Amino acid sequence: MPSVKQVQVTFDCAEPERVARFWCEVLGYVVPPPPNGFATWDDFHRALPPEERGSWFLAQDPTGVGPRLYFQRVPEGKVAKNRVHLDVRVGTGLVGEERLATLEAECARLVALGAVRERLLLADEDNESCIVMQDIEGNEFCLD
């Protein structure tokens, strides 16, 4: 049986392009070129039937290492805690005050982009400190 070589992370959301562009800023991802035959994503979306316009959007790691992110419009809003979330690893290898300062600086940057800070979880005997946050549509993620 072949092994999986890539994964895609899919977000259900109300505004796919807005959420995709937020995560591009968070992760340093980019919006890929529009499909062949279209000069822009707007041109592509205008070519779709009205009910499909803006129904999905993409973000990808420019290095090709990280997973592609796919954002799809769903009619219902978020009503419960995520069963899966992203850990944005900004403090890898750091401990103590240096780690906290790095997490706080990144938290401030993301809040300026529209994220919401939920709470700081301080280090214990098993885990380093992290900050629990929400993206612009309320999806939880951690600054780790």
For residue range 59-117, list pLDDT tens digits in order. Answer: 999 999 999 999 999 988 878 888 788 999 999 999 899 999 999 999 999 999 999 99
Say if strands 140-143 and 130-134 run parallel, antiparallel, or are unpaired.
antiparallel
pTM of this structure: 0.88
- Judge contact between 34 and 41, C-beta under 8 A: yes
> Facing residues of 117 across strands?
133
- How many helices (H) and strands (E) the chain has is answered by 3, 7
